[in-house]
Structure 1
């Protein structure tokens, strides 16, 4: 199941796609149609408790950032210009609580701030969006018994970067100022 996609920084005609069930990254050339498995890593794999492994996927600079729903992690792996693995993966944040069908990291938005810090907003199925800034995670929106968000699935920045938009499995598009 392909779930999450990102283009390579140095080659925009090649995309990487997360295979959530197999726990791997597929590389697809959009010009030739050729596809292959480009990276396999234990941090991409699902587990017996949750069959959804690697989920959200973004490329920023020399890194491929990803979430793994089953392993409850937000992580990155350094990649080469062709999308192959250049270094070991590293975990940047861990989801609070036990991962389940009602509590897991999904897709996310990521950028480098003007101060050179890494900033990400991660949607979780527990009606929550977490902010990760330079390795520190905090609750950004929702949480507890909040009904503001109904199963958030993805986050993206506005063009001017002053807010994020969150889409949900409940049919919402929620705007939140940063």
Structure 2
């Protein structure tokens, strides 16, 4: 990824040449319907929405990756309100990209926002933003060769977990005091020679850290062990080519996964089978993340991969309705 992320686009597109055939619908599957794009963004100014957190009123807090901004967009669209801009880096050396990029976002109950910033410099790490917006403050520094991507906040333990796409690790980061440590690592989280983006999206769910691996097209579960240490990595779904971020539809393990390169939203069942529920024809344009609130699904698209000679990128925010069927 970059403002015009050609090198990454080639690598990711190579990994996504073949899509797993969609599995048949199950009577117990949630239904996703009524997709509508509520906001369009300006690709030329770096308004490429990378990740999302939701406000109590249904507004969406988005990271604009290459504008280095955190913005808020109302549930019904409108002009994005800039909450913060991450500092400019004079000579970014971000792994695989070379440009400074704002990635994951998490929201505390008091409205405080935490975002991941990858720069290839000492600015790489986790930054905090007051709920109403303002100057961001770096609370944790990660190594220059790290690429912090999806993050999740464990407020009870005062800890942020961050997926590192370049190093193939999960970081454990104290919010208030202490040094970041590698919480989980290994082959299941690693990137590949063909695609240098491994661990990507990250969620805390049902006693575990869940992580997507873009290079391997997998959804992983890492249970908490004693003292909140990482248990063995479990592969819960495969064949999710180009997976970026994901979100759970409720208390169970059914998830919705954004398949970036193919512009699909995939419903992933607890048994690992999956099927497509939204496509490019619904408005998706390289979806990057997913959020679910009550009966609404939010899907930002960053429009990263396009042919400038024939295509016009459409970074946007799409909303859809979700209904949970009961057997």
User: Fold match, TM over 0.5?
Assistant: yes
Do structure 1's residue 73 and structure 2's residue 249 form an aligned pair? Answer: no
Match of residue 275 from structure 2: 138
C-alpha separation between the residues in 1 aligned to 2:284 and 2:208? 30
Count of matched residue pairs? 163
Residue by residue over 1:80-119, the C-alpha shift from the partner in whole angstroms, topping out at 9 and shown as x without a partner, is 3754212x212121235xx4xxxx0000111544xxx311
Do structure 1's residue 25 and structure 2's residue 160 form an aligned pair? Answer: no
Shift of 1:122: 0.4
| Structure that is richer in helix per residue | 2
Q: RMSD of aligned C-alpha atoms?
A: 1.8
C-alpha separation between the residues in 2 aligned to 1:112 and 1:177? 14
Match of residue 105 from structure 1: 243
TM-score (norm 2): 0.47
1:1-178 equivalent positions in 2, closer than 5 A: 1-8=147-154, 10-11=156-157, 13-80=158-225, 83-86=228-231, 88-95=232-239, 99=241, 104-113=242-251, 117-125=252-260, 126-135=262-271, 136-142=273-279, 146=281, 148-158=283-293, 161-170=294-303, 171-178=315-322
- Runs of 4+ aligned structure 1 residues displaced above 4 Å come to none
C-alpha separation between the residues in 2 aligned to 1:25 and 1:48? 19
Specify whether residues 52 and 67 from structure 1 end up closer, same or farther in structure 2 by C-alpha distance, changes over 3 A only. same
Q: Where does structure 2 lack aligned partners over 5 or more consecutive residues?
A: 1-146, 304-314, 323-327
Q: Secondary structure at the match of 2:195?
A: coil
Larger radius of gyration: 2
Shift of 1:139: 0.7
| Structure that is richer in strand per residue | 1
Q: Secondary structure at the match of 2:254?
A: strand
Q: Secondary structure at the match of 2:166?
A: coil
Q: Secondary structure at the match of 1:43?
A: helix
Shift of 1:32: 0.5
